[in-house]
């Protein structure tokens, strides 16, 4: 049987669902095609971003003779069948030398700006590390939305540390759940940025009301001897005044952290937010120093 895989978004980040589909069908002995034409018997179309939904639906109509599966957060909230979901991804599909996967799904929070509760539902344990960690890989991207909420978090962090893996928590860790024990265990984990070049951990500070918990969490991290870069996603422009948005960025910088501003729905109507986002991106990629920001915007 011929199976065609279509990545509608064509982003630089590999599509985990398609890699699982590829791994599943190759194990069944089927021929898998990706970025190459074929006359397929079955088609899997993945669309992560809603802006590309019309493209995905259009592609789905191009194969009337095939069984077509259309999925991804951009078009629906359906999950892969269990036999595909819990299979080793085919990392050769994108030619990457690191593994990707979920240990948990969902989130214990219900933030009004976030689609995770809608597309993933309640928080739950999902898989063990060896389900998606290729034995040949020494790097792994953990894409959980709130891994620190896991009842197994001590076990998970201990395992990541003992196996001496380079780990990227790309979705961020919930600093509001930090304890001295978690900070101590995390100090033994080799956290990295998505480029793998910089020792770092990702967090977020989206709600101004969480300031005391964020500051306390940063103190726990530093007391545990963690010297890696602390990168904070900072959501701005969602029912928050400019003063609160700026205050979070300014506070994080003074605490020695790196803010990475994310505009709600990619807003472009507020020039202050636009400049603030560009500035923090510049700092993230280390080509714009702090003193180059127009401080007048803060007043």
Residue 100 belongs to domain spanning: 89-298
Per-residue model confidence (pLDDT) at position 294: 55
For 218, counting Cβ atoms within 10 Å of its Cβ (0-12 exposed, 13-18 middle, 19+ buried), the class is: buried
Tokens 């540390």 locate to: 161
Domain finish residue from 88, 120, 150: 88
Q: What is the pLDDT of residues 27-73, one digit of tens each?
A: 999 999 998 889 999 999 999 999 999 999 999 999 999 999 999 99
Mean pLDDT calculated for residue range 159-180: 97
* Tens digit of each residue's pLDDT (9 = 90 or more) over 173-215: 999 999 999 999 999 999 999 999 999 999 999 999 999 999 9
CATH number at residue 166: 3.20.20.70
Q: How many domains does the chain have?
A: 2
What pLDDT score does 88 carry? 98
Q: Are residues 49 and 122 in the same domain?
A: no
Q: Which of 88, 119, 145 is the last residue of a domain?
A: 88
What does the pLDDT look like over 207-241, one tens digit per residue?
999 999 999 999 999 999 999 999 999 999 999 99
Stretch 130-156: mean pLDDT: 98
Residue that terminates a domain, selected from 88, 122, 139 = 88
Position 37 scores a pLDDT of 86
For residues 138 and 228, state if they share a domain. Answer: yes
Report the pLDDT averaged over residues 168-175. Answer: 97
Residues 105 and 229 reside in one and the same domain: yes
């Amino acid at each position: 049987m011929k199976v065609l895989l279509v990545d509608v978004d064509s982003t630089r980040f590999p599509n985990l669902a398609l890699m699982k589909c590829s791994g599943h069908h190759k194990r069944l002995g089927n021929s898998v095609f990706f970025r190459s034409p074929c006359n397929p018997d079955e088609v899997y179309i993945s669309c992560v971003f809603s802006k590309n939904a019309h493209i995905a639906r259009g592609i789905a109509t191009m194969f009337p003779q095939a069984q077509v599966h259309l999925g991804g957060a951009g078009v629906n909230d359906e999950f892969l069948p269990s036999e595909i979901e819990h299979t080793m991804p085919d990392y050769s599909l994108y030619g990457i030398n690191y593994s990707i996967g979920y240990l948990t799904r969902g989130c214990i929070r219900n933030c009004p700006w976030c689609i995770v509760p809608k597309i993933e539902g309640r928080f739950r344990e999902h898989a063990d590390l060896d389900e998606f960690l290729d034995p040949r890989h020494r790097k792994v991207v953990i894409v959980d939305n709130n891994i620190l909420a896991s009842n197994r978090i001590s076990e998970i962090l201990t395992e990541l540390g003992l196996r001496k893996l380079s780990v990227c928590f790309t979705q961020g860790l919930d600093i509001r759940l930090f304890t001295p024990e978690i900070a101590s265990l995390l100090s033994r984990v080799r956290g990295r940025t998505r480029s793998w070049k910089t020792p770092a951990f990702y967090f977020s500070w989206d709600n101004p009301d969480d300031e005391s918990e964020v500051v306390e969490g940063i103190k726990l991290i530093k007391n545990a001897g963690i010297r890696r870069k602390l990168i904070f996603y900072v959501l701005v422009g969602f029912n928050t005044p400019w003063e609160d948005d700026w205050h979070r960025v300014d506070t994080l910088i003074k605490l020695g952290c790196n803010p990475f501003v994310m505009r709600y729905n990619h807003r472009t109507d507020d020039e202050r937010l636009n400049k603030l986002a560009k500035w923090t991106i510049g700092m993230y990629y280390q080509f714009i120093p702090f003193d180059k920001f127009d401080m007048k915007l803060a007043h």
